[in-house]
Homo-oligomer: A and B are copies of this chain.
Amino acid sequence: METGMTKPKGIVLLSGGMDSCVTTAIATRECGLAALHVSYGQLTEAREHHAFMEIADYYGLAERLVVNQSYLSRIGGSALTDPRIPLREADPSTPLRAGLEATGIPASYVPFRNAHFLAAAVSWAEVIGAGKIYIGAVEPDSSGYPDCRPEYYRIFNRLIEAGTRPETRVEIVAPLIHMRKQEIVKKGIEFGAPFHLSWSCYRSSEKACGTCDSCVLRLRAFEQAGVEDVIPYSHRVGFASRRAV
C-alpha cells in the first residue's frame, strides 16, 4: 500500500467519512497521493481527524496537510458547526433523497463549504505540482447539498484554469459523483477500502448515533449492499425495506 518515494501526483480530500475513504481507495491505484484534511469547527472534528490519520496510515500516505478553516464555524449557518441549530432526525421510512427534496437543503449544509476545501487543495496542488484533486462528492441518493453536483465541479475546473499560473494543470476528479450510496459500498469492498477506519456520524464521536442523516444514509447503503457496517452504533434504525429480526 506504500506510495513509495515518488512525488505525489494527486491530492485526496480525506474527511474520514465513507465516501472519502472509498475515493482514497480508488485514487491510490491511479497515482501517488498526498492527503488533505480540513478542520472547520465541525462538532465531530476530533473523531474525523482520527479517521483521516488512520486511513492515511493504512495507505501509507506520508504527505499530509491539515488545514484549519474554523472561521467557517464563526460564520455559522449550519447544524454541523452551530450546536444551536438542530440536526434533523432522518426518517428511515421514506426514500431519503425524496425526503430531503421535500424539506429543501438540509440544516447540515455549510454555506459554500466545498469551495473552501477545494481552494486549499488547488493552492497546495499548485505548490507541490499535483495534477489531480480527488473528492468524494456524491450527487444521487445523497445529501442534497448544492455543492455536490457535477455542474459545480465542471465550473470549478474552469475557475482553476482561469485563476492559476498559465503552466499549472490541476483538475478536480469526483469518481463517486454519479454513484448511489450502495454502489459506493460495493465499490469500496471491491477496492478494499478500510471502512472500519472511517467515520460518518455528524453527532457523536464514541458510537455513531445511527439517526442523523449521515448515519442513516450510511446504514441504508450497507444494508442495501448486503454488507455489514462494523463501526459501533448506539442505535441502528430499521428501514422500510427491512424485515424485523
Contact = CB atoms under 8 A, between A and B. Distances in A.
B126 A77 contact: yes
Nearest to A119: B115
Contact of A112 (B122, B155, B158): B122
Contact of A152 (B109, B116, B151, B159): B159
A65 B74 contact: yes
Contacts of A105: 165-166
A69 interface: yes
Contacts of A71: 65, 67-69, 120
Interface residues of A, number: 43
Interface string A157-193: 0111011111000000000000000000000000000
Interface SS, A side:
helix
A113 interface: yes
A136 to B, nearest CB: 16
Contacts of A122: 111-112, 115
Contacts of A119: 112, 115-116, 119
Residue in A67, A123, A146 with the greatest tally of chain B CB atoms within 10 Å: A123
Contacts of A146: 162-166
**Which 5 pairs from chain A and chain B are nearest by CB?**
A77-B127, A111-B126, A147-B163, A115-B119, A111-B123
